[in-house]
């Protein structure tokens, strides 16, 4: 009887230890993006921009002794409002002298990166800092519209809304404080390079998310 009891206790202990290697996280925050490079041309002559948006991230992570790997799925949007005195059509690279042209680039509305991550993790009592790398695919809904000038007060679509895709690479640094055995508070900063292709137009930019959320270890 005693060997059976000891065996059951050992199985429960091993199972609990194994289960606690998995954790799930849900974070939210803001993401700031740089000015996009559009078809290799840096849009320096902007007059106004929207470069900070909300972001949400869901992560599933497996913990090793000193490392952790996992999958991250995020959702945000990236748009940019540019003003030109000379409009360069990205489809033809032809310059046209149009006065006060405003172009709204909805690069991703929404924009969904799905990435694989690997982190080096440390443990200081209840605090577990980490840093690492990530890479994956980007899926986006892209459209663009422009108006010739505020005086005309007209909007024209020169692209229809399309499904776009691309890739992303980046690095992240963060920490989780486990105030309970299974529950912790997480804060993370990351820097990501994004490449999004929509038809013949290519967008390249950097995005810097700052998020806070909760982790559950099971």
Percent of the residues in the chain that have a pLDDT greater than 70, as a whole number: 68
Mean pLDDT across 65-78? 95
- Looking at mean pLDDT, say which of 3-7, 61-65, 80-84, 149-153 comes out highest: 61-65
**44: pLDDT strictly greater than 70:** no
**112: pLDDT strictly greater than 60:** yes
Q: Give the least confident one: 9-18, 107-116, 175-184.
A: 9-18
Q: Give the least confident one: 23-32, 34-43, 89-98, 157-166.
A: 89-98
Which pLDDT belongs to residue 185?
Answer: 98
Sequence ranges of the domains in the chain: 22-217
Q: Which residue has the higher pLDDT, 202 or 209?
A: 209
Write down the residue that tokens 């505020």 correspond to. Answer: 150
Which pLDDT belongs to residue 51?
Answer: 79
- Residues 93, 38: Cα–Cα separation, whole Å: 11
User: Model-level pTM?
Assistant: 0.78
Distances in Å between the Cα of 164 and the Cα atoms of 138, 195, 206 are: 8, 10, 17
Contacts of 125 by beta carbon, 8 Å cutoff, 6+ apart: none
**Which residues in 143-153 are b (16+ Cβ under 10 Å) and which e?**
bbebbbeeeee
Q: Which residue has the higher pLDDT, 146 or 119?
A: 119
**Does domain 22-217 fall into CATH 2.40.160.20?**
yes
pLDDT band at 90 (very low <50, low <70, confident <90, very high): low
- Residues 58, 72: Cα–Cα separation, whole Å: 6
- Residues 119, 170: Cα–Cα separation, whole Å: 12
Please choose, from the candidates 18, 79, 77, 7, the residue with its C-alpha nearest in 3D space to the C-alpha of residue 48. 79
3-state SS of 161-214 is EEEEEEEEEEEEEEEEECCCCCEEEEEEEEEEEEEEEECCEEEEEEEEEEEEEE
């Amino acid at each position: 009887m005693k060997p059976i009891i000891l065996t059951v206790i050992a199985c429960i202990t091993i199972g609990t230890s194994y289960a606690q290697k998995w954790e799930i996280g849900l974070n939210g925050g803001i993401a700031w993006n740089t000015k996009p490079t559009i078809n290799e041309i840096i849009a320096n002559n902007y007059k106004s921009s929207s470069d900070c948006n909300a972001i949400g991230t869901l992560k599933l992570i497996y913990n090793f002794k000193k490392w952790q790997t996992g999958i991250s799925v995020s959702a945000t949007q990236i748009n940019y409002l540019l003003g030109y005195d000379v409009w360069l059509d990205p489809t033809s690279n032809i310059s046209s002298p149009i006065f006060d042209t405003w172009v709204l680039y909805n690069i991703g509305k929404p924009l969904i990166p799905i990435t694989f991550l690997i982190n080096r993790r440390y443990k200081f009592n209840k605090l577990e800092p980490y840093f690492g790398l990530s890479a994956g695919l980007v899926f986006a809904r892209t459209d663009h519209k422009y108006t010739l000038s505020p005086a005309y007060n007209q909007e024209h679509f020169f692209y229809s809304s399309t499904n776009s895709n691309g890739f992303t690479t980046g690095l992240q640094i963060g920490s989780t404080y486990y105030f309970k055995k299974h529950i912790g508070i997480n804060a993370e900063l990351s820097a990501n390079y994004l490449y999004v292709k929509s038809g013949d137009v290519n967008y390249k930019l950097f995005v810097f998310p700052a998020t806070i959320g909760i982790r559950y270890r099971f």
